[in-house]
Chain A
Amino acid sequence: MKISVIITLKKDVLDPQGKVIHQTLDGMGFNDVNEVRQGKYFEIDTKETDNDKAKAKVEEMCKKLLANLVIENYKIIDPK
């Protein structure tokens, strides 16, 4: 089963990379962008076949390694 995780920076954490991307988009003529925040995307292929168990394991992975909860939030996407 494949489970996806999206990690984003918390709202009040400075994201200089997102800012630069925003500026570049501006320069390219995409003038209606309010803000860009950069994040990370993971696809985790697990042997677990039970949906809930797999999600719980991935949540543990997020807390222990994939995200740093001081600055980041994680979102687990339901497996299809």
Chain B
Amino acid sequence: MKSSVITFPGSNCDRDMDVALKKFGFKNKMVWHADAELPKSDLVVLPGGFSYGDYLRCGSMASKSKIMHSVINFANSGGMVMGICNGFQILVETGLVPGVLLRNKYLEFICKNVFVKINDKKNKYFKNVNNDVLEFHIAHNEGNYFCTNDQLKEIEDNNQIAINYCDENGKIEDQFNPNGSIKNIAGIFNKEKNVLGMMPHPERMIDASLSGEDGSLFFKNLINNLK
């Protein structure tokens, strides 16, 4: 399976993602934002970081960069595109997934482990993941998911919520919402579910001695689903 990780000026989780993808069998290529063409890919990842210094709005400038024309075309023709953290912010700015990510409710940069509950498994990202709850890491200042009431209705009608913040038992409540996101939303799909944006970092959970292995579960499963 071939993957591509896009590096924008200010990306800083691109190499972590490269390590994670390779560890679980992807042949990964790093792609510079100013390139026009995507290499042949089964998966494209927009990594975390602070693209363009988060100027104007997080992800806004990166969403207009040259490579994004190819990424958007790839996504619109059914290609798998995953945006993590800043990558999620870039995805919402392209309009590939609905909504926006606002400043965290209590104005704090949040850096900690969280639990997320998988809301939908009828997609290539989470199909066959045995666990319903995963422990991932978040590190963001703007992860407060917001959308209009009309968008929320559409998102719920199409079952586009991917994961919600919860406790270790999968209970989705306000007290387990780290950043003020509507409905504890931590990740969301496009309608067709080939595009996934999420704030948590699975690539930071791939080593039992350093972190945890729920990211390993995610990537092992993902590559199998793509085969």
Contact = CB atoms under 8 A, between A and B. Distances in A.
Interface of A: 13-14, 16-17, 20, 64-66, 68, 70-71
B147 A65 contact: no
Contact of B100 (A16, A66, A71): A71
B107 A71 contact: no
A15 to B, nearest CB: 9
B64 A65 contact: yes
Interface of B: 56-57, 60, 64, 93, 99-100, 102-107, 144, 146-148, 151, 180
Interface of B is mostly: loop
A65 B106 CA distance: 27
Contacts of A14: 102, 105, 144, 146, 180
Contacts of B102: 13-14, 71
A71 B146 contact: yes
Contact of A70 (B60, B144, B147): B147
Given A13-B146, A14-B180, A68 B100 contact: yes
Nearest to A67: B57
Contacts of A64: 64
A50 B107 CA distance: 43
A67 to B, nearest CB: 9
Contacts of B56: 65-66
B60 A68 contact: yes
21 contacts: A13-B102, A14-B102, A14-B144, A14-B146, A16-B104, A16-B106, A17-B107, A20-B107, A65-B56, A65-B60, A68-B57, A68-B60, A68-B93, A68-B100, A70-B99, A70-B100, A70-B147, A70-B151, A71-B100, A71-B102, A71-B146
Which 7 A-B pairs rank lowest in CB-CB distance, beginning with the nearest?
Answer: A70-B100, A16-B107, A71-B100, A16-B103, A68-B100, A68-B57, A16-B105
A20 B106 CA distance: 10
B146 to A, nearest CB: 6
A66 B64 CA distance: 12
Contacts of B60: 65, 68
A11 to B, nearest CB: 12
Task: Tell which of B93, B99, B148 has the most Cβ of chain A within 10 Å.
Answer: B148
Contacts of A17: 103, 107
Nearest to B60: A65
